[in-house]
Amino acid sequence: MSIQTNTPISTRKDLRIWYNDGNVVIIAEDVAFRVHQSILSSNSDVFRDLFQVPQPPTPSDGDTFEGFPAVHSHDKSCDMAEFLAVLYGGSQSFSPAVLYSLPKLIAVARLSHKYQCEDLLAAALSRLQDVFPTKFASWCTSTLNAPESGPAACERPRLAHVISAINLYRYIGRNDILPVAFYFCALVDPLDLINGVSTPEIGTIERLSPSDLAQCIRLRTALGIRWTHCLHYAVKTGHDHDNETEKGRVCKIAMEYLLQSAEETFDDVGCGYGLLRNWKSSLPVGVIDQCFGNFTTIWSVTQKELWGDLPELCGLGEINGWSE
Ligand SMILES: [Zn+2]
């Protein structure tokens, strides 16, 4: 970021963030934002330091935009627009009543960190935890856990945004959202992780770092092993009565069928590896209520065990606030 760079001739104003009494113009890509030095300085140490640097007495044309000092940033204009909108909106910008998309939250968090706006960063990270929970109870109802098809599927975050979130948290040096973000990535086609995926908004390709890609593949393997183990244990322990009666024999066969059909869907990444997903099947034909109840109870216990182990399985060690 600098105050002395040539302004592209094609630069256009962002009319949403163009204050007529503003006294500085921020230029990102080919978009100009007219804002106030005092607002930026009071929220950001980086801007405060920048504006304290003495400027030449006679600025050249390239240093100004319509006569105002121009600050050129290397950020994307769409990210800068979101960042400035939230900066001017104050604490109300992130109130629970305001809907905020994942890419916008990520953009605001990234720029808040870059420009050292600590309050804004904390508010954005708090909202990000709603998407990437650190508690199992929150995970069960999170959009990240929504099915890939059906009415709730449209709320499901896109892979490109989850990868952006992982890269953001690596950039800012935090790890609290990473277990569920890695878990999400471990369930997708690995080729998408290797090739990267484009964001629907601006078409940039989002990729994991090589070490995070390796971590997702390791996690995928670990989930597969757990899935097999948990399934066999839950079926074996859930069917807890003698097999001498007709009802008992039918239940045993039905439970074995449940195991077989679950094993056959093992390669379906949304199912087999999705150990933390809700068990969607209703009572299978022939299975005694008590046995199916035992099975689902055991299943939920194993899910919680996996949740507790997830940070370690992701190679992240202990995470503050990670709990049931
Ligand atoms: Zn049974």
Residue 68 has φ and ψ, to the nearest 5°, of -105, 150
Residues with CB under 5 A from ligand 1 (ion): 239, 251, 288, 291
Ranges of each domain in the chain = 12-122, 123-216, 221-313
Cα-to-centroid distance, 258 and ligand 1 (Å): 11
Cα-to-centroid distance, 141 and ligand 1 (Å): 30
Q: Is the pLDDT of residue 62 over 60?
A: no
238, HSE (Cβ side, Cα atoms, 13 Å): 29
Cα-to-centroid distance, 249 and ligand 1 (Å): 8
Q: Is the pLDDT of residue 20 over 90?
A: yes
Q: Quick check: helix, strand or coil at residue 65?
A: strand
Cα-to-centroid distance, 228 and ligand 1 (Å): 20
Cα-to-centroid distance, 259 and ligand 1 (Å): 13
Cα-to-centroid distance, 243 and ligand 1 (Å): 8
Average pLDDT over residues 244-264: 86
Q: What is the DSSP string of 293-314?
A: HHHHHHHHHHHHHHHHHHHHHT
Mean residue pLDDT of the chain comes to: 87
pTM of the entire structure?
0.87
Average pLDDT over residues 165-191: 94
Cα-to-centroid distance, 16 and ligand 1 (Å): 64
Cα-to-centroid distance, 251 and ligand 1 (Å): 5
Cα-to-centroid distance, 238 and ligand 1 (Å): 7
What local confidence, expressed as pLDDT, does residue 147 receive?
A: 72
Cα-to-centroid distance, 154 and ligand 1 (Å): 38
What local confidence, expressed as pLDDT, does residue 151 receive?
A: 75
Per cent of the chain over pLDDT 90 is: 50
Q: Is the pLDDT of residue 268 over 80?
A: no
Cα-to-centroid distance, 262 and ligand 1 (Å): 17
Cα-to-centroid distance, 248 and ligand 1 (Å): 6
Question: Where is average pLDDT lowest: 12-21, 79-88, 111-120, 241-250?
Answer: 241-250
Q: H or E stretch including 33? A: strand 31-35
Task: Provide the 10 A C-beta neighbour count for residue 320.
Answer: 9
Question: Where is average pLDDT lowest: 52-66, 185-199, 255-269?
Answer: 52-66
Angle at 256 between CA 251 and CA 257, to 5 degrees: 95
Contact call for residues 308 and 297 (beta carbons, < 8 A): no
Contact call for residues 185 and 193 (beta carbons, < 8 A): yes
Average pLDDT over residues 176-197: 93
Cα-to-centroid distance, 269 and ligand 1 (Å): 28
Angle at 20 between CA 14 and CA 22, to 5 degrees: 85
What local confidence, expressed as pLDDT, does residue 5 receive?
A: 47
Contact call for residues 314 and 175 (beta carbons, < 8 A): no
Average pLDDT over residues 19-23: 95
DSSP state of 271: T
Contact call for residues 98 and 79 (beta carbons, < 8 A): no
Please name the residues in contact with 254: beta carbons below 8 A apart, sequence gap of 6 or more. Answer: 284, 285, 286, 287
Rounded-to-integer distance, Cα 248 and Cα 252, Å = 6
What local confidence, expressed as pLDDT, does residue 143 receive?
A: 82
Average pLDDT over residues 187-205: 89
Q: Is the pLDDT of residue 185 over 90?
A: yes
- What is the biggest distance separating any 2 CA atoms in the chain, rounded to whole angstroms? 98
Cα-to-centroid distance, 240 and ligand 1 (Å): 6
Q: Is the pLDDT of residue 312 over 80?
A: yes
What local confidence, expressed as pLDDT, does residue 4 receive?
A: 45
- Domain topology for 12-122: Potassium Channel Kv1.1; Chain A (3.30.710)
pLDDT tens string 200-240? 887 889 999 999 999 999 998 898 888 888 888 888 888 88
Average pLDDT over residues 125-140: 90
Q: Is the pLDDT of residue 272 over 70?
A: no
Cα-to-centroid distance, 277 and ligand 1 (Å): 24
- Pairing, β 31-35 against β 24-28: antiparallel
Q: Is the pLDDT of residue 56 over 70?
A: no
Beta strand ranges found along 79-223 (DSSP E): 197-198, 205-206
Cα-to-centroid distance, 74 and ligand 1 (Å): 64
The residues pairing with 127 across neighbouring beta strands, listed in sequence order, are none
